Structure 1
Amino acid sequence: MVSVTSYGAAQTVTGSCHLLKIGSIKILVDCGMFQGDGQSLRNYEDFEFDVSNIDFLIVTHAHLDHIGRVPKLIKDGFKGKIISTKPTKDIMNIMLMDSAKILKEEYKTLRRKAKRIGDEQRIREPLYTEEHVKDVFLRSWKTLEYFEKYKLHQNIEITFGNAGHIMGSSFVMIDYKNDKAKKRLVFSGDIGSKHRLILDPLDNIEETDALFIETTYGDRAHRNIKDSIEEFKHTVVSTLKRDGNVLIPSFALERTQEILWILHKMFEENELPKCRVFLDSPLATKATKLYKKYPINLSDEVEYDALNDENPFSFASLEITSTKEESRLINKVKRRTIIIAGSGMCNGGRIMHHLKHRLWNKLNSVIFVGYQVPGTLGRSIIDGDEYVKIYGEDIVVKADIKTINGFSAHADQEDLINWISNFKKLKNLYLIHGESDKMKIFSEVVKNKLDIKPKIMEYGIRVDL
């Protein structure tokens, strides 16, 4: 008996968690956090499967919506082996440590407020702590190179391919014998466009009996990356020339490194007006060091710079702010700055105080270069809210708001269709990791273009293969 049950990223984008059973072997593909629109409480709920019986955890990549509940998984009794690429393991370490610190700060803030009204008991402990994160990396691990085969069991073998999404990201091929016949199923993880700025493009493969594929942007086409870069440059230059400031809420992984690479090239080619550029994100700073550590995973141009002792993510105008005090001091710089800060969806982090100080000024610009989950501050801003609440204060939105989705690390509809079309004789296609309305649109496109009728995965509903 072979089955898959999705306990996250089923008709929603976050919380990726898929339980694969092959006979007596139980494999979990990702264990991510639920994020946005009041979803965070779901992270505290008990897992709907016996954690202690899971034999393997396969991690496709190190975004929190794919790894954010791994410490909870171990805290709740997981004793199996974790499998990922080496860059993913390294990035997981910094991402989960950062997550644990945020959870701790949120707990302390909520407890302090509850204490004032004598209601401390209702504040639950953090989902996990830094000690729980350390436990993750004391477990049995196996790191794999792309297309290195690894046996999980006598009749089960896995292989990673490059998903082209972020550093170390993978799709996973699982080969097994079922009734003496050889079978394969593939989980896409999150896949990237073939037009990537700083990474090698995703790999193509041809064989599978079943494919579970993400559909985050299954309803649309991304803007051409060259046009997106030109719009980005134009917004930066025009804002600086009017003595304004550019705020870039940016995800620590991939997006920050792409933005730094573009600014690096602009500086080299004298396209960047005189200004001060702040990377105000300790997590992004750590992630950028890891990107430089694995040049083999970078695109040819970026790899060439990295191998020739040139830092492709740095330039003379760039200032790294490590401490909170250094971050606060940026507020004293009133004009001609570029501030790159997390979080990417403006639901926490240092970007919050920068928005509070600069969102109301029409000379400034805010450039969104990533997906904004419904319910986040970032989504409210791009949806055109006249006022947004930051630290309990209503702030008027007068800055120029730009959304440039050509930088997305996710494949768009055309990319997804093209990748699926590489598979020969594909009959079983399952849609995961997407909002319900977008999945329905993508499902119709797949039927019309590829003559395949996909199935949309439902939360907690087992699919037998």
Structure 2
Amino acid sequence: MALLNFYGAIQQVTGSCYLIESRDGARVLMECGMRQGRRDADEDNRAPFPFDPGSLNAVVISHAHLDHSGLLPRLAAAGYRGPIYATVATSELLELMLLDSAHIQEHDAEWENKWRARVGKPQITPIYTTADAELALKLRHPLEYEELHEVAPGVRLTYHDAGHILGSAIVELEVDDHHLTRRLVFSGDLGNTCSPLMHNPSILTRADAVMLESTYGDRDHRCSEDTLDELAGILQQAYRDGGNVLIPSFAVGRTQDLIYYLGRFYQEGRLKQQAVFLDSPMAIRANAIYSRYQDQFDLPEHNGRPAKKVKRIEQWLPILRCTASPEESMAINRINSGAIIIAGSGMCTGGRIVHHFKHNIWRKECHLIFPGFQARGTLGRNIVDGASNIKVLHQRFAVKAQIHTLGGFSAHAGQSQLIDWVKNFDHRPELYLVHGELEKMQILQQELKRQLNWDACIPEPGEQVVL
């Protein structure tokens, strides 16, 4: 019999990791994500894998975000040498994401060790190194959407467009079980149907088991036009207040959406600020990859006219300034008003955004906009929940800036979109809720029962089920 093991993103949002074992001995790992935000996340990311990496036949990745792919370098360092499957665009983004993550691991360990040396604490090592990331990247095996490929004996993979970020995929696995074939579908991260760039998620109808993400299982997003009007109003108020605007943003996906929206405001004369800084080397490089894959975009019409095609994403917003070097980033700190600063990380767990907090978050005329989900335990979530002061870079700062959350910009499907997607499956396959906080899963579970009379399971960490 074929088995499905739930190892990560179980009753929490990050750290996706699932192992499929066939009766004939094939072992396929689906996702190898990094855990983020929680106090014990670093310890979890350093822990031994709950399986032998050398015994795996293949690894299947749904998309490039680190909570789905970020431990691939550790997997390679632990002995995995098989193929890592991903879509063509995801394969390209993985190079960007994993090398940047490795650099951050090395840099943060070096910086932390300088502080530890001064206070007499033991030294730490990075979770993985650039060499580990390069080893993992050599194992990439890109596949096109809708291409059927045998990834292990008796296990076949097809990717379908998930509409979440560039290259994101719904994973369909056919697993031979003697004379039967069991079909497992993993939603990956399903895209918000209001996304300005991505296609709507592909609709599937056949499965024996479905794994459904539930990041926003408890609620729907606001209408995108209402959210845009709110964003425009915040930016105009910030201009009148005379402060800067900080936007923590994921380098891949959210940043490109924001550039598109700010470009719209600029063309409509609704953007008073005269400088938008993209202060993220990874986002700058991601823009170049996005620019090469514009055939995968679904640009909406605006005022009855198709959105214009551009050679480079930056051309959508002429006042955008990309600050790749540390010196360019530090120069932004001399600007006290009139700037919009987009920087990583999206949940404020590191990156350049925390340096901008140091210079802005204690100023009441500044505005801080969260355009997406903030996982429990992250600095971003603490601020959203009303923290009066925060600790960054071993210093404590009062939170005086005006805080805004804009749920309508999420790249994830909301509750109704999740239900609308999953209800297309015939014959009520086994349904497992993953990739969400427990209380949000429970609300989605109740709605599935109420609306569709469908009993969804919420797995326990480490649980194993028969496909």
How far the C-alpha of 1:464 sits from its partner, in A, is 1.0
* Residue correspondence of structure 1 range 241-260 to structure 2 within 5 A: 241-260=240-259
Larger displacement relative to structure 2 (307-316 or 11-20) = 307-316
| Deviation readout 1:204-263 (Å, 9 max, x if unpaired) | 111111101111111111111111111111111221133221111111011111111111
- The question of whether the paired residues in 1 share the 8 Å contact of 2:22 and 2:176 is answered with no
Runs of 4+ in 1 over 4 A off after TM superposition: 304-308
The reply on whether 1:359 has 2:371 as its aligned counterpart is no
The residue number in structure 2 matching 1:432 is 434
Q: Which residue of 2 aligns with 1:220?
A: 219
Percent identity (aligned): 38
1:155-170 map, 5 Å: 155-170=154-169
Q: How far off is 1:353 after superposition? A: 1.8
- Between the aligned partners of 1:306 and 1:284, the Cα distance in structure 2 is 22
**1:149 equivalent in structure 2:** 148
Instruction: Report 1:21-420 matches (<5 A).
Output: 21-23=21-23, 24-38=25-39, 39-120=41-122, 123-139=123-139, 141-153=140-152, 155-301=154-300, 307=309, 309=311, 311=313, 314-420=316-422
Which residue does the alignment assign to 1:13?
A: 13
User: Which structure 1 residue ranges, 5 or more long, are not aligned?
Assistant: none
One-letter amino acid of the counterpart of residue 379, structure 2: L
Distance 2:285 2:152 in 1: 36
Aligned-partner Cα distance in 1 for 2:311–2:70: 34
Partners in 2 of 1:225 and 1:290 — Cα distance?
Answer: 25
Structure 2: segments with no counterpart, 5+ residues: none
User: Match of 1:300, SS?
Assistant: coil
8 A contact 1:9–1:16 mirrored in 2: yes
What is the distance in 2 between the residues matched to 1:156 and 1:335? 57
User: In 2 relative to 1, CA 67–311 (structure 1 residues): closer, same or farther, beyond 3 Å?
Assistant: closer
Counterparts of 1:309 and 1:104, CA distance in 2: 34
Letter aligned with residue 5 of structure 1: N
Following the alignment from structure 1 to structure 2, what is the Cα–Cα distance between the partners of residues 359 and 292? 33
User: In the TM superposition, what is the alpha-carbon distance from 1:450 to its structure 2 partner?
Assistant: 1.3
Q: Which amino acid aligns with 2:157?
A: I
Work out whether residues 427 and 452 of structure 1, in 8 Å CA contact, stay in contact via their aligned partners in 2: no
Q: Distance in 1 between matches of 2:378 and 2:226?
A: 27
Where 1:183 maps in the other structure, the secondary structure is strand
Separation of aligned partners in 2, 1:65 and 1:27: 18
- The TM-score with structure 1 as length reference comes to 0.96
In the TM superposition, residue 308 of structure 1 has moved relative to its aligned partner by 5.1
Q: Deviations over 1:170-190 (max 9, x none)?
A: 011112332413331101111
Look up the equivalent residue of 2:258 and give its one-letter code: I
For residue 310 of structure 1, report the CA deviation from its aligned partner. Answer: 6.2
Letter aligned with residue 150 of structure 1: H
Contact 1:261 1:312 in 2 (8 A): no
Task: Specify the code of the residue in structure 1 equivalent to 2:113.
Answer: R
**Matched residues in 1 for 2:112 and 2:270: separation?**
46
Out of 459, 463, 466, the position equivalent to 1:464 is: 466
3-state SS of paired residue (1:456): coil
Moved more, 355-364 or 253-262: 355-364
Shift of 1:454: 1.1
By how many angstroms is 1:270 displaced?
1.7
Offset, 1:309: 3.6
Contact residue 26 and residue 154 of structure 2 kept, 8 A? no
Given that 1:362 and 1:399 are in contact with CA atoms closer than 8 Å, whether structure 2 keeps it comes out as yes
Match of 1:4 in 2: 4
Cα deviation for residue 110 of structure 1 reads 2.5
Q: Residue by residue, what CA displacement relative to the aligned partner does 1:67-117 show, whole Å, maximum 9, x if unpaired?
A: 111000011011211111011111111111111111111211222233234
The offset of 1:156, in angstroms, is 2.6
Deviation string 1:106-139 (CA, Å, 9 cap, x unpaired) is 211222233234443xx33211111111111222
Structure 1 residues 19, 305: closer, same or farther in 2, change over 3 A? same
CA contact (8 A) 2:18 2:30 kept: yes
Q: Report the more deviating stretch, 260-269 or 50-59.
A: 260-269
- Distance (whole Å) between structure 2 residues aligned to residue 161 and residue 391 of structure 1: 41
Which string of whole-angstrom CA distances, capped at 9 and with x for unpartnered residues, describes residues 147-196 of structure 1?
A: 11112345332111111111100011112332413331101111112221
2:8 partner SS: coil
Distance in 2 of aligned mates of 1:363 and 1:118:
39
Deviation at 1:306, TM superposition (A): 7.0
Measured in 2, the distance between the counterparts of 1:300 and 1:116 equals: 53
Q: Deviations over 1:1-30 (max 9, x none)?
A: 111111111111111000001121100001
Once the two structures are TM-superposed, the CA of residue 433 in structure 1 deviates from its matched residue by: 0.8
Number of paired residues?
462
1:352/1:437 CA distance change after superposition, 3 Å: same
Contact between 2:433 and 2:458, CA under 8 Å: does it hold in 1?
yes
CA distance in 2, matches of 1:44, 1:453: 35
Deviation at 1:441, TM superposition (A): 1.4
Deviates more, 1:150-159 or 1:324-333: 150-159
Are the aligned partners of 2:173 and 2:185 in contact in 1 as well (CA < 8 Å)? yes
Measured in 1, the distance between the counterparts of 2:163 and 2:194 equals 9
CA–CA distance in structure 1, aligned partners of residues 28 and 247 of structure 2 = 38
Amino acid at match of 1:137: L
Shift of 1:372: 1.0
